[in-house]
Amino acid sequence: MGTILYIIAVVLIIGWVLGFFVYSVGALIHILLVIAVIAVLLAIIRGSA
């Protein structure tokens, strides 16, 4: 389960970076970044517990 969260986080971060530099989508870019950060935090918390 932790591996899936890392994969999702990486995909979302890549999408955020591409969206930030290539497209001008606005708030959607920041929402993707927040979701990616939350996924990483959940993976870290669940991994250490």
pLDDT tens by residue, 1-49: 667 878 888 888 887 777 766 666 566 777 778 888 888 888 888 886 5
pLDDT of residue 49: 52
pLDDT of residue 2: 66
Helices 27-48 and 2-21, packing angle to 10 deg: 160
pLDDT of residue 7: 82
CA–CA distance, 27 with 7 (Å, rounded to integer)? 22
pLDDT of residue 44: 84
pLDDT of residue 40: 83
